[in-house]
């Protein structure tokens, strides 16, 4: 299985259009050893031809152009994207659907809760129905599995996880199973598994089990500290208020990953405020010492 990181940044990307924080300012002035990052999305394939897009970021146009394997190859209109899977209904994961409106009917796999948000508060499915057809495929939120016809040799296990519905959702302060999911993607012919969860606020037992059984983890790397946004004067919300588990501190993501033995460990969905973006920073060294990698745009993982 091949995984292409289309976008490794959190909402806003890096640098964020209106942000003059230490990181955003320094990458613009060239005073930082860092990579710019577009917003959160990956693509998965087993034949390098037929791709599942997981999340559709507002940066999708540039992300697809930067990735030849997904370009149109046959006839006048074509794409390597055969289906879309959504992890939640957050703006950074769904607004890119609007950019796919010129295409054929879109096969979109998402939970009932995500479908509700995308037909009410942010009615992108309704809007797209005036441009192309949306075929919504409901997915399990109890960890059971499904397959996607056009994406051969992969099996998907989707399960509700604890993070946050978007601020526009009626579920923001009234959580329901399926507002956010984690996915285990298994290649049927090899048994290799990746666990993907770009927004992960709590590590429940079923999440730990999925992580222990995976060969590779691509998980929430949004914030280094719980109070990062507040400390930098960028906002009023803690990491946990936004449904993200910070990396540092007791019980943080590094501690949790230290308890996972075999998997390749990769952080994804990095917010522009996160000091790990500075490749010469102390936090970056701490991650390296813990055997934890940081995803970047264009990263490819072969499993
Ligand atoms: C998040 O991951 O918490 C959201 O994407 C934040 C946002 O909408 O900018
Ligand atoms: Mn996000
Ligand atoms: Zn910033």
Domain ranges for the chain: 2-302
Q: Is 90 in the pocket of ligand 1 (CB under 6 A)?
A: yes
pLDDT digits (tens, 9 = 90+) for 83-125: 999 999 999 999 999 999 999 999 999 999 999 999 999 999 9
Please state the rounded mean pLDDT for residues 39-64: 98
C-beta separation of 246 from 165 below 8 A: no
Cα–Cα distances (Å) from 248 to 9, 203, 228, 273, in that order, read 18, 15, 11, 14
Quote the Cα angle for 7-199-169, to 5°.
105
What pLDDT shows up at residue 127?
98
Q: What was the pLDDT predicted at 211?
A: 98
275 lines ligand 1 (CB under 6 A): no
Contacts by residues 29-32 (CB-CB < 8 Å, ≥ 24 positions apart): 32/277, 32/278
State phi, psi for 115 to the nearest 5 degrees: -60, -40
CB 146 within 8 A of CB 156: yes
* Distances in whole angstroms, Cα of residue 53 to Cα of each of 100, 148, 198, 291: 11, 12, 14, 27
Residue 277 CA to ligand 3 centre (angstroms): 11
Rounded average pLDDT over 264-283: 98
Residue 230 phi, psi (nearest 5) = -70, -50
Q: Is 58 in the pocket of ligand 1 (CB under 6 A)?
A: no
One of 3.40.50.300, 3.60.15.10, 3.90.230.10, 3.30.40.230 is the CATH number of 2-302, namely 3.60.15.10
Sequence-separated (6 or more) residues with CB below 8 Å from residue 281: 275
* pLDDT number for residue 5: 99
Q: How far is the CA of 24 from the centre of ligand 3 (A)?
A: 4
Mean pLDDT of 272-288: 98
Mean pLDDT of all residues in 72-81: 97
Q: Check pocket membership of 94 for ligand 1, CB cut-off 6 A.
A: no
The answer to whether residues 94 and 118 touch, using CB atoms and an 8 Å cutoff, is yes
């Amino acid at each position: 299985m091949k995984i292409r990181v289309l976008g490794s940044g959190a909402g806003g990307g890096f640098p964020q259009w209106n942000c003059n924080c230490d990181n955003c300012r320094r990458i613009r002035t060239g005073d930082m050893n860092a990579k710019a990052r577009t917003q959160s999305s990956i693509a998965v394939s087993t034949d390098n031809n037929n791709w599942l897009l997981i999340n559709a970021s507002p940066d999708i146009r540039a992300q697809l152009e930067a990735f030849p394997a997904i370009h149109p190859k046959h006839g006048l209109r074509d794409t390597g994207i055969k289906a879309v899977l959504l992890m939640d209904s957050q703006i950074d994961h769904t607004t890119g659907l609007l950019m796919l409106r010129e295409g054929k009917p879109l096969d979109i796999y998402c939970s009932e809760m995500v479908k509700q948000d995308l037909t009410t508060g942010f009615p992108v499915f309704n809007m797209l129905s005036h441009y192309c057809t949306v075929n919504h495929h409901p997915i399990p939120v109890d960890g059971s599995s499904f397959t996607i016809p056009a994406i051969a040799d992969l099996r998907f296990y989707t399960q509700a996880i604890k993070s946050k519905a978007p601020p526009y959702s009626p579920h923001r302060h009234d959580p329901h199973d399926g507002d956010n999911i984690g996915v285990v993607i298994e290649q049927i012919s090899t048994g290799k598994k990746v666990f993907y969860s770009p927004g992960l606020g709590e590590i429940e037992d079923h999440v730990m089990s999925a992580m222990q059984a995976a060969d590779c983890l691509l998980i929430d790397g949004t914030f280094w500290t719980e109070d990062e946004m507040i400390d930098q004067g960028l906002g009023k919300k803690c990491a946990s208020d936004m449904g993200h588990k910070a990396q540092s501190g007791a019980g943080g993501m590094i501690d949790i990953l230290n308890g996972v033995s075999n998997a390749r460990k990769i952080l994804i969905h990095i917010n522009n405020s996160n000091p790990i973006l500075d490749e010469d920073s102390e936090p970056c060294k701490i991650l390296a010492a813990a055997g934890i990698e940081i995803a970047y745009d264009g990263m490819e993982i072969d499993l």
